[in-house]
Amino acid sequence: MIKSASYTIEPLFMRLLLSLIAILFIGIFVALPLSVVFAEALSKGWRAYMDALMTEDARSAIKLTLLVAAIAVPCNVVFGLAASWAITKFEFVGKRLLITLIDLPFSVSPVISGLIYVLLFGTGSVLGGWLEEHNLQIIFAVPGLVIATIFVTFPFVARELIPLMEEQGTEAEEAAVMLGANGWQTFWHVTLPNIKWGLFYGVLLCNARAMGEFGAVSVVSGHIRGLTTTLPLHVEILYNEYNFAAAFAVASLLTMLALFTLLLKSIIEYYFPHEVKAF
């Protein structure tokens, strides 16, 4: 048996070679930059690292990032749930179009999407003029950041839930309705328990992207220090000022967020392999 198996797999040197290439590739493009981030961040010592994170601007950037994520992620959870519920449990005209539209942010460059909002809500536009008259600031202010972030991150939850809910079908929901449950009861007691891990997984990815988004946010932010700079923008500002240690210190925060997300993601994939659709 063991002997026969050797006919069906690659020879040893080939396996080693392939593994080596993979490890080298990941090493150069992932592990090395990651370690550089932490090495640079701590290059001037632990004190300087903490100081960089404790400046007024850094603290407001952290707060702003958390605020934007705290608004954008729940919005996308609601939107993602509603869209996937509609798409998988009902038949309606325009369903294909809706699925295509959900994918749009994945295919549009974030800078372009930021630009669209500037054109839409900026001072030059019709809508912008009306907003200005009513003293509402969207572009170069927090609402703009939130809107841009929502746009960029809205596929994550929906994209995770649609295949999952499609696979689960509608029978359990039909059973609940036949037993007299109303729409809300059906969703809360039947649908949600079946998708909770998939939903959590989608939220995780959505959150990571929301906190780490640069392109779209950069266009609408206006880079007003302490007011409209999120963490990624703050990193950019520090970097442009040749303040490398501080820039990497802030960047290390985002890196830790990424690593933490990756860890949780792996845990979910390991323990609930059937309840999530890995991206």
Partner 1 sequence: MSIQVRNISKRFGETTVLDNVNLTVHSGELIALLGPSGSGKTTLLRIIAGMERADTGTVLLDGHESLTQNAGARRVGFVFQHYALFKHMSVFENVAFGLRVRPKKERLSDKEIHRKVMQLLALVHLDKFHDRHPSQLSGGQRQRVALARALAVEPKLLLLDEPFGALDAKVRKELRRWMRRLHDEIHVTSIFVTHDQEEAMEVADRVVVMSNGRIEQVGSPGDVYHQPANSFVYDFLGNYNVFEGWKDTEGKTHLLEYETREEDSSPPPAPTAPSGWMKRYPEITGLLHKILPSLVPGVPSLLPPPKKKPRPTPNQGKPIKLFARPHELFVAKTPDDHEYVLATVTHINPAGPLVKIEMERRNGAALTAEVPKEVIDMLSISKNDQIYVRPKNTRIFEGG
User: Applying CB under 8 A, which residues contact partner 1?
Assistant: 171-172, 174-182, 185, 189-190, 193-194
Choice between 11 and 180, CB closer to partner 1: 180
Per-residue tokens: 140? 């170069």
Minimum CB–partner distance for residue 91 and partner 1 (Å): 10
Q: Is 129 helix (H, G, I), strand (E, B) or coil?
A: helix
Choice between 74 and 193, CB closer to partner 1: 193
Q: Is 170 helix (H, G, I), strand (E, B) or coil?
A: coil
Per-residue tokens: 37? 């981030």
Choice between 244 and 272, CB closer to partner 1: 272
Minimum CB–partner distance for residue 172 and partner 1 (Å): 5
Choice between 36 and 175, CB closer to partner 1: 175
Instruction: Quote the strand ranges of the chain, DSSP E.
Output: none
Minimum CB–partner distance for residue 119 and partner 1 (Å): 42
Minimum CB–partner distance for residue 54 and partner 1 (Å): 45
Minimum CB–partner distance for residue 165 and partner 1 (Å): 14
- Rounded Cα distance between 39 and 45, Å, is 10
State which H helix or E strand residue 110 sits in.
helix 110-121
Structural contact between residues 187 and 105, judged by C-beta atoms closer than 8 angstroms = no
**DSSP count for the chain of H helices, then E strands:** 16, 0
Choice between 174 and 241, CB closer to partner 1: 174
What is the residue-wise DSSP string for 186-229? HIIIIIHHHHHHHHHHHHHHHHHHHHH--HHHHHHH---TTTT-
